[in-house]
Amino acid sequence: MNKKFLNTCFFLSLALIFLPLTAYSADQRPTVLANTCAGCHGTDGKSVGAIPPLHGMKADYFADTMKAFRSDKREGTVMNRIAKGFTDKEIESMATFFSELK
Cβ–Cβ under 8 Å, residues 10 and 74: no
Q: Which residues 6+ apart lie within 8 Å of 76 measured at CB? A: 69
Superfamily of domain 3-99: Cytochrome c-like domain (1.10.760.10)
Cα–Cα distance between 30 and 25 in angstroms, integer?
Answer: 9
Could you tell me the residue ranges of all domains in the chain? 3-99
Cα–Cα distance between 97 and 44 in angstroms, integer?
Answer: 9
Round to the nearest angstrom and report the end-to-end CA distance of the chain: 44
Question: Whole-model pTM?
Answer: 0.72
Along the 102 residues of the chain, how does pLDDT read in single tens digits? 567 766 776 766 666 565 555 555 555 678 888 888 988 999 889 998 889 999 999 999 999 999 999 999 999 989 999 999 999 999 999 999 999 998
